[in-house]
Copies of this chain bind each other. A is one copy, B any other.
Amino acid sequence: MLTATWSISSGWSAPSIVPYGPLAIQPAASCLQYATECFEGLKCYRGHDGRLRLFRPQVNAARFLKSATRIALPSFPPDEFLKLLVKFVAHEAPKWLPNNPDWRGRFLYLRPTMIGTSIKIGLQRPDEAMMFIVAVFVPADVNGPGNSASNPNSSPAPTAGPSTPPEVPSATSPPTRMKLLASKQDMIRAWPGGFGSSKVGANYGPTIVAQSEARRRGYDQVLWLFGPEDYVTEAGLANFFMLWTTKDGIKELVTPPLELGVILEGVTRRSVLEVCRSGKVGDVVVSERKAKMDEIVSAYEEGRMLEAFAVGTAVFVASVSEIDFRGKKLILPLDRGDSGGFATAVKGYLEGIMFGRFGHKWAHLVEEV
């Protein structure tokens, strides 16, 4: 893992790559008491051409700074963050994703994290902090890449790579399927003026109770709604997209907007919006706008609902097959024989960039050491 420490008096220490192992943290440390912690999630891809790539890591670097600022942690300059990330990947990825055909189309998950480590028991801005990056190797899954969300048992990579490659999935496999249970009014993920748009730990732990309830009832994730209007916001830990035909016969791709601050600015979300607006994956009107559950129900009942899918770095692109909205079950076309073709096309296009099937400015090549 890569680590660097910070103090208010001396700034950031020189980062170093050290063997993965436990951190020595004081019981009264700010991160354990007051959740002064934030993280990023991104992947390193072993391309079909044998090259290692990151996907838009500059966006993660900028978001890491934004999250740290929101949770009163020190700034880590995005340029420096990117350099360290590349250095870490160049050092670590070849062990986990050897450059041979068995490993092409596979990825390593990266988790940069910052925590407040000062031990003043009174709540205040931490005057000591630590930044670290760990790698998580996700075993192969028949659902293909981008499926770490369905592998919650993945532990961080120990110090040596795996000896035999797990089954290598096709990079063009269809998206994972996901069943969603809509949240009730008594459990809300984020609120305007809160911190739902920052990747801080405080957004995650409090959602586990609702997620556990969804899983107990046979659903994969919670579809988070907001307000008495039941606006859709996020699907579990991912951004949510709906594809439907409007009453006027227009094919519209809708995702909730960022302006209320209750939605994470996902890198995959942004990329899906940009790809779809460019017309590269089909002819749809792209709308970032508020959408109520009522609109989904109407589209469903009137046969206008085409697809719904969730996107995020961990889950990548997951097709939604069913939504339970307070007892009303919407069985989406995917579960009625439809191919989920739009989500598959989006996934295929982005994978093309990630795994180097074609050149694209979003791919950030990493030279191996």
Tell me the number of copies of this protein: 2
A208 interface residue per 8 A CB criterion: yes
Q: Which among B28, B109, B205 is the interface contact of A35 at CB below 8 angstroms? A: B205
* A152 and B185 alpha carbons, distance in the complex (Å): 37
Closest to A115 in B: B32
List of B residues within 8 angstroms of A349 by Cβ = none
Whether A204 contacts B124 by the Cβ 8 Å rule is: no
Q: Of residues 302 to 332 in A, which have CB atoms within 8 Å of B's CB atoms? A: 314
Residue A136 contacts which of B28, B71, B186, B237 (CB distance < 8 angstroms)? B28
- Cβ–Cβ < 8 Å partners of A28 in chain B: 111, 134, 136, 155-156
B22 touches A26 (CB 8 A): yes
Residues of B within 8 A of A121 (CB): 109, 111, 136, 148, 152, 154-156
From A134, which residue of chain B is reached at the shortest CB distance? B27
Interface residues of A in 234-255 (CB under 8 A from B): 237
- Select from chain B the residue with minimum beta-carbon distance to A119: B155
**A5-13, A169-177, A194-202, A280-288: which lies at the interface:** A194-202
Number of A positions contacting B (CB below 8 A)? 68
**Cβ-neighbour of A122 out of B154, B195, B201 (below 8 A):** B154
User: How many Å lie between the Cα of A266 and that of B96 in the bound state?
Assistant: 50
Query: Known interface pairs A122-B153, A202-B205, A209-B70. Does A32 touch B191 (Cβ–Cβ under 8 Å)?
Result: no
A159 located at the interface, meaning its Cβ lies under 8 Å from any Cβ of chain B in the complex: no
B27 touches A24 (CB 8 A): no
Per-position binary interface string of chain A over residues 318-359, scored 1 when its CB falls under 8 Å from any chain B CB and 0 otherwise: 000000000000000000000000000000000000000000
Instruction: Decide if B20 touches A22 in the complex (CB within 8 Å).
Output: no
Contact A36 B208 (CB under 8 A): yes
Q: How far apart are the CA atoms of A31 and B69 in the complex, in Å?
A: 20
Closest 3 CB pairs of A and B: A122-B152, A188-B193, A35-B201
Listed by A's residue number, 29 A-B pairs whose Cβ atoms lie within 8 Å are A1-B27, A20-B27, A25-B25, A25-B32, A26-B156, A27-B156, A28-B136, A28-B155, A28-B156, A31-B31, A32-B113, A32-B115, A33-B111, A35-B37, A35-B202, A37-B205, A69-B209, A72-B212, A122-B148, A122-B154, A123-B211, A123-B237, A186-B193, A188-B191, A191-B194, A195-B206, A200-B206, A201-B202, A202-B202
